[in-house]
Chain A
Amino acid sequence: MSQHDTPAASAADRRGFMTKLLAIMCGGLATLPPLVAGLWMFLDPLRRRGAAATFLPVTDLASVPDDGIPRQFAVVSDRIDAWTGFAAEPIGAVYLRREKGSDTVQALSATCPHAGCFVEIESQERCFRCPCHNSKFMLDGGMVAPSPSPRAMDGLECQVAKNGEIAVKWQNFYTGIADKVARP
Chain B
Amino acid sequence: MKPQHQHDQKQMPPRPVGRSGMLGQLADFLDDRTGYRAVMHEALYERVPGGARWRYVWGSALVFAFMTQVITGLVLWASYSASAQTAWESVYYIQHEMTGGWLLRGIHHVMAQALVVLLALHLMQVVIDGAYRAPREVNFWLGLVLMMLVLGMALTGYLLPWDQKGYWATRVATNLAGLVPLVGPSLQQVVVGGPDYGHHTLTRFFAIHAGFLPVTLVLMLVVHLSLFRKHGLCAKQPIVRPDAMFWPDQVLKDAVAMLAVMAVVLGVILMPALRAMLEGRPIVPGELGAELGAPADPSLPYAAARPEWYFLFLFQFLKVFEGFGASGEFFGAIVVPGLVMGVMFLMPILGRWQLGHRFNVAFTFALLAGIGLLTAMATNEDYAALWADRGAFADVEKLLEETENDKAKIAAHFGNDAAKIAAFEARVKKLDRIRHSQSFLDAVALAKADAARSIELAGRPERIPPAGMMELVRNDALSQGPKLFAQHCASCHAHVDPGAPEAQAVLAKASAANLHGFGTAAWMRGLLDPKQVAGPAYFGNTAHKEDDMVNFVQNDLTDAATWKPDDIEAVIVAMAAEAGLAAAGTPPAVIEKGRGLVADGERCGSCHRFTPNETAHGSAPDLTGWGSREWLVGLIVDPTHERFYGDSNDRMPSFGKAEEAAAPILTRRQIEMIADWLRGDWYRPTGHAH
Contact = CB atoms under 8 A, between A and B. Distances in A.
A85 B262 CA distance: 38
Interface in A6-61: 16, 19-20, 22-27, 29-31, 33-38, 40-44, 47
A19 to B, nearest CB: 4
A29 B259 contact: yes
Contacts of A42: 75, 78
A80 interface: yes
A30 B266 CA distance: 11
A9 to B, nearest CB: 12
Interface in B89-131: 89-90, 92-94, 97-101, 103-104, 107
A34 B463 contact: no
B464 A84 contact: yes
B258 A27 contact: yes
Interface in B622-645: none
Given A23-B255, A83-B92, A34 B71 contact: yes
A37 B100 contact: yes
Contact of A83 (B100, B247, B252, B458): B458
A40 B93 contact: no
B261 interface: yes
A163 B3 CA distance: 89
A24 B75 CA distance: 25
Contacts of B100: 36-37, 40-41, 44
Given A41-B98, A44-B100, A84-B463, A30 B71 contact: no
A16 B93 contact: no
Contacts of A27: 251, 254-255, 258-259
Contact of A26 (B93, B94, B259, B458): B259
A16 B247 CA distance: 10
Residue with the highest number of chain B CB atoms closer than 10 Å, among A19, A25, A40, A44 = A44
B255 A83 contact: no
Nearest to B98: A44
Q: Is the interface of A mostly helix, strand, loop or mixed?
A: helix
A34 B68 contact: yes
Contacts, number: 107
Given A83-B463, A84-B466, A41 B99 contact: yes
B64 interface: yes
B467 to A, nearest CB: 9
Nearest to A24: B255
Contacts of A19: 248-249, 252
* Chain B interface residue number, banded: 35 or more
Contact of A85 (B247, B249, B465): B465
Interface string B57-98: 000000010011001101100110000001001101110011
A26 B98 contact: no
A37 B266 CA distance: 12
B107 A26 contact: no
Contacts of A30: 64, 255, 258-259, 261-262
Given A37-B72, A38-B72, A83-B464, A22 B79 contact: no
B647 interface: no
B256 interface: yes
A22 B74 CA distance: 29
Contact of B463 (A23, A36, A80): A80
Nearest to B90: A83
Contacts of B103: 33, 37, 40-41
B255 A34 contact: no
Contacts of B101: 41, 44
A85 B104 contact: no
Interface in B194-224: none
A47 B100 CA distance: 12
Contact of A35 (B71, B93, B249): B71
A80 B93 CA distance: 13
A82 interface: yes
B462 interface: yes
Contacts of B64: 30-31
Contacts of A37: 72, 75, 100, 103-104, 107
Interface string B445-469: 0000000000000100011111000
Interface of A: 16, 19-20, 22-27, 29-31, 33-38, 40-44, 47, 80, 82-86
Given A26-B259, A41-B100, A83-B97, 16 more contacts: A19-B248, A19-B252, A20-B247, A23-B248, A23-B252, A23-B255, A30-B64, A30-B258, A31-B67, A33-B266, A37-B100, A41-B103, A43-B99, A44-B101, A82-B93, A83-B89
